[in-house]
Amino acid sequence: MIKNTLLKATKAGAKELERFFNGEFTITNKEGVNNPVTEADHASEKAIFGIIKQDFPNHFILSEEAGEFIMDSEYKWIIDPIDGTINFANGIPICCVSIGVEHNGEMIMGAVYNPLMNEFFFAEKGAGATLNDKQIQVGNKTEVIKSCLVTGFPYTYLDAPNGPLQVFERLIRKGVPVRRLGSAALDLCWVAAGRFDGFYEHKLQAWDSAAGFLMVEEAGGKVTDFEGNRYSVYQPNLLATNGKIHDEMLAVINHQKEL
């Protein structure tokens, strides 16, 4: 039942994303520069809420735009109605709906859907990860220097040691290809699918990674914080890899190794 609701809710949100894409919609701005929320974000969120509340009216909901709907429940739905809003607002088709389902503090299911590219990613704890119903696995690269990586940068820049630009510079100065697509949920899914060998980011929210990090784990990859600890969606930094370059990536991020 939860899986059916998750699939329905993700598709309902994606229908709104498609409806507004390359059309006219209102845009407002949140904290920081270039951190917009659009009419489509709210429409997607409303459609998603409608499905979830119809099937599970007593479940806890955490969503990027509306915030928390606190309920005394073992289940929590963590929602990004449109991940990659700047891409969406500029007509760039790298954006998606992302929904994770948590049970007693553990992520058990996730769906990420980019209808503009017709790619539906799904993962269930212990059952693997799929893209359009076909099983996916992480890649096989064993060295960072030969890997293709992806990252993102926060809207409010982190002026801290080993910050986003410092890590980025250490990698690109050695010729490592590091992409910046603008959607953390899709970055994670593309690691799960073997398109990227690793993804790191310094400042994520729960709705950015809830579904995607499970996707990576279920595709055979590894996800931790920057200290190598078990990942939690409620802390900011994330490293997701194919598992084979994970320790080396941690050393590079923490400036313990030069490539």
Mean pLDDT of 232-250: 97
Same domain, 75 and 149: no
Residue 27: pLDDT above 70? no
At which of 135, 157, 172 does a domain end?
135
pLDDT score for 187: 98
Same domain, 82 and 122: yes
Same domain, 68 and 153: no
Q: How many CA atoms lie within 13 A of 22 on its CB side?
A: 6
Structural domain that includes position 219: 144-253
pLDDT tens digits for range 161-175: 788 999 999 999 999
Q: Is residue 197 part of a domain?
A: yes
pLDDT tens digits for range 173-211: 999 999 999 999 999 999 999 999 999 999 999 999 999
Q: Which H or E run contains 217?
A: helix 206-218
Distance CA 242, CA 111 (A): 20
pLDDT score for 247: 98
* Closest-CA residue to 112 (of 88, 91, 82): 82
Same domain, 165 and 222: yes
Same domain, 220 and 186: yes
100-115 exposure pattern, b = at least 16 Cβ within 10 A, e = fewer: bbbeeeebbbbbbbbb
Same domain, 100 and 190: no
Same domain, 236 and 205: yes
Same domain, 115 and 167: no
CB-CB contact of 139 with 192 (8 Å): no
Strands 149-151 and 198-201: parallel
Same domain, 76 and 101: yes
To the nearest whole percent, how much of the chain has pLDDT over 90? 82
Quote the number of domains for the chain: 2
* Closest-CA residue to 2 (of 95, 73, 91): 73
What is the CATH classification number for the domain harbouring 115? 3.30.540.10
Distance CA 177, CA 106 (A): 33
At which of 135, 152, 187 does a domain end?
135
Distance CA 122, CA 151 (A): 22
pLDDT bin (cut points 50, 70, 90) of residue 36 is: low
At which of 135, 169, 196 does a domain end?
135
Helices (H) and strands (E) in the chain, counts: 7, 15
Same domain, 175 and 128: no
Q: Is residue 119 part of a domain?
A: yes
Q: Is residue 162 part of a domain?
A: yes
Contacts of 57 (CB under 8 A, 6+ apart): none
Q: Is residue 77 part of a domain?
A: yes
Q: Is residue 27 part of a domain?
A: yes
Q: Is residue 62 part of a domain?
A: yes
pLDDT tens digits for range 44-97: 999 999 999 999 999 999 987 776 677 889 999 999 999 999 999 999 999 999
Alpha helices in 82-205 (DSSP H): 85-89, 164-172, 184-192
Cα-flanking dihedrals φ and ψ of residue 179, to 5°?
Answer: -95, 165
pLDDT bin (cut points 50, 70, 90) of residue 35 is: low
Q: Is residue 258 part of a domain?
A: no
Mean pLDDT of 21-36: 65
Q: Is residue 245 part of a domain?
A: yes
Same domain, 10 and 131: yes
Distance CA 45, CA 61 (A): 11
pLDDT score for 170: 95
Same domain, 8 and 130: yes
